[in-house]
Amino acid sequence: MSLGGKPPRLVGQVRNGVVDIIWTVLGYTTGQFPRSEVFELPFIHTNNLVATNLAMREMLENGMLAEEFKDMHVITLHVHAGQAFHMVDTPVRTPDDLKGKKMRIPSRTGAWILEALGANPVGMPFPDLPQALSREVVDRTLIPFEIVRPLKIQELTKYQTEGQGCIRFGTTTFVIAMNKAKYESLPDALKKTIDDNSGVEFTREVGRIWTQSEVGCEETLKEAGNEVIELSPEEIAAFKKKLEPVVEHWIADVESKGIDGRKLVETARATITKYADEE
């Protein structure tokens, strides 16, 4: 935030022209991107970042997400690899293992996931997490593996849990976007340069880079003495059953705002499946 302000203000900054380009988490600006939240719901995104990124792009281009971005020029939408459980003291193998635990959340959908599992969500920015874990302000956290080494999570936790094949428990959505007036003011040649380098292949590449960012993280955890738990399909099924009401809760919430939530869920799942073989 070297240009000033706090992360939740980035969207406003690019809309108002305070900055020309932003890269931000959509969930930082609560309530402004309800349609895009569909990709954060449990088990919508599974483990293929390229497929989810391409699905987000297609749903933006076909108009299903466009309303939320009409006053900015989107370079790309994307997700990270997904949230895994990181625990200070006790492992997580069943939904009941989270009851009563204090957990840092990534977004409002993350809070709903934790509440459905009986945990107590605690909101805080990423930089505060190491201190919160060391002081037991939270017992565990829901974050991707790529943040392990930057925050030295391997020194603050003992157990990690994900599903076999890197199945995760929801993800976080991001946008790279330009101020619309600034983009439109550029000479055609410069606009073409931006467009040529922010197309489908760029969306794929963001997914590839983010996938690569997790390589070696499990080894770092294991070298520190942590146990990395991979849940079986049967164990993951227990979490899916427990978390399906989160999807229904989200559908009811956005439908109260005039948005066809069920169609968004069905389309997101189908479009991710469509791109499942992408790498």
Which domains can be identified in the chain, with CATH numbers? 7-80+171-212 (3.40.190.170), 84-169+215-244 (3.40.190.170)
Q: What is the pLDDT of residues 38-73, one digit of tens each?
A: 999 999 998 999 999 999 999 999 999 999 999 999
Would you state the pLDDT for residue 38? Answer: 98
Q: State yes or no: pLDDT of 111 exceeds 80.
A: yes
Residues facing residue 121 across a β-bridge: 103
pTM: 0.94
**Strand ordering across the sheet containing 227-231:** 120-123, 102-105, 140-143, 84-87, 159-163, 227-231
DSSP 157: -
Q: Round to whole Å and give the CA distance between 205 and 238.
A: 33
With pLDDT > 90 as the criterion, what percentage of the chain qualifies?
A: 83
pLDDT of residue 30: 85
* pLDDT greater than 90 at residue 93: yes
In this predicted model, what pLDDT tens digit does every residue of 248-262 receive, in sequence order? 999 999 999 999 999
Q: Are strands 173-179 and 159-163 parallel, antiparallel or unpaired?
A: unpaired
Q: For residues 47 and 80, what is the distance between their CA atoms, to the nearest angstrom?
A: 9
pLDDT tens, position by position, 206-253 = 999 999 999 999 999 999 999 999 999 999 999 999 999 999 999 999
Contact by Cβ (8 Å): 3, 14: no
> In 3D, which of 191, 199, 220, 166 has the Cα closest to residue 43?
166
